[in-house]
Structure 1
C-alpha cells in the first residue's frame, strides 16, 4: 500500500453525544469569535464574564488527499450574544467547488449559507434531518434551541478551509431572536 492509502477501520463516534475517542476535540470559546457577532458590547461583556464555550468539533484524522472523505461531529452549545444565537465561525472551502453534508443527531438549529455571487439560503435542522451545502457556499451552523446542536458532517478530504474571507467580510445575513422566534436580518457589519 502507498503511504496515502487508508486501511479499513472502525469508528467510535457516539451517535447520541457526538463524542469520539478518535481525535481530540477542537474547542472554540466565544473569545475566538471576535468580529462575528453584530453587538460588540454584548460580545465583550460575555467574554469578560466567563468566555463561554460556543462550540467544539471532533474530526477523524485522515490524510487530506483526493479520494478520502473527512468527517466528524460538531457540538454547538445554546446561547446568545445580545439577541444573536450562538453559531459556528463558518467557512468556505479552499477548493470552492466542494459540497458538504451535515446530519442532525440532536438539537434544533439552522445552516446559513451564501456564495460569492451573493445568493444565500437557510436550511433548518431537527434530529434525523440532513442538510446539503452545495459547492461554492460558505456555511455556518446556528443553534436555535435550548440544548446542544450535534451534527455529523462529511466532505472531501482535500477541500481545505477558508476562514479568512468570513473573518474579513462576515456573512450577509444574521439570525437573531425577535419576539421569541428566529428572524433573519441583514448584517450591519457585512463588507462588500
Structure 2
C-alpha cells in the first residue's frame, strides 16, 4: 500500500545559497537501482509512485582544481522503499584522501560513513549541525524525517566522485524503520 504523496514548499534561495538560476541534478528512484536492499519493494514503489524524485543537488560550476572548493546544497526528500529510508547514492571521492563538510539547514536524518577497511560510523543531522566526513570515507545522507533534509556541503573541487564502488555491494549497514524509529542493521548483501 502506498501513502499519498505530500507536497513540499521549498525556499530555493535558502536551498541553493546561490540563486534560483543554479541548475539542479535530480535523482529519481529509477536512478537508484540496486541501492535498496528489498528489490521487490523497490520495483513496487517504482511502478506505483511513477518514478518519484528521491533527491536533487545544486552546485556551482567552478574549476575543478586543487586550490578551489566545490560547494552546493542537497535536498533529500522523505520516504521509504520497504522499510529503508530514502537516501542518496553515496560515494567515495576519487581522491580518497578528501574530507567533506555537511551543514544541515533543515530536516532530520543521518550521515552513514564507512572506509575501505570496514570501519563505519553514523552521525545525526539536525538543523544547525555540521557533520565532518573524514578522508577515506564513503558517505550517504539518509532522511529519517517527514520533511526534506536540506544540507550544505563543501569539499576540494578536484576530488571527484566514485559511485561505482558503492553500486557493487552498497554499505555494510542499512538504516531502516522499525516500530516507528530508525534502526541500524547489517546489510544482507555483505553476509
TM-score, normalised with respect to structure 2: 0.90
Secondary structure of 2:189's counterpart equals coil
| Partner Cα separation in structure 2 for residue 99 and residue 22 of structure 1 | 28
Aligned position for 1:23: 22
Give 1:3's aligned residue.
none
Report the Cα distance in structure 2 between the residues aligned to 1:72 and 1:190, rounded to whole angstroms: 32
Counterpart in 1 of 2:147? 147
| Cα contact 1:18–1:105 (8 A) shared by 2 | no
Note the 1:33-182 alignment, pairs <5 A. Answer: 33-49=32-48, 50-182=50-182
Deviations 1:96-126 (A, max 9, x none): 0000000000000000000000000000000
1:39, 1:52 → 2: CA distance? 17
Larger proportion of helix: 2
Unaligned runs of 5+ in 2: 1-11
Contact persistence 2:13–2:20 (CA under 8 A): no
Residue 4 of structure 1 is matched in structure 2 by: none
Paired positions, count? 178
Shift of 1:48: 1.1
CA contact (8 A) 1:108 1:125 kept: yes
What RMSD over aligned residues (CA atoms) do the two structures have, in Å? Answer: 1.2
Q: CA deviation at 1:175?
A: 0.1
Query: Secondary structure of the residue that 1:136 maps to in structure 2?
Result: coil
Q: Deviations over 1:117-156 (max 9, x none)?
A: 0000000000000000000000000001000000000000
Shift of 1:18: 3.9
Q: Displacement of 1:22 after TM fit?
A: 4.7
Preserved CA contact (<8 Å) 2:27 2:56: yes
Contact 1:101 1:131 in 2 (8 A): yes
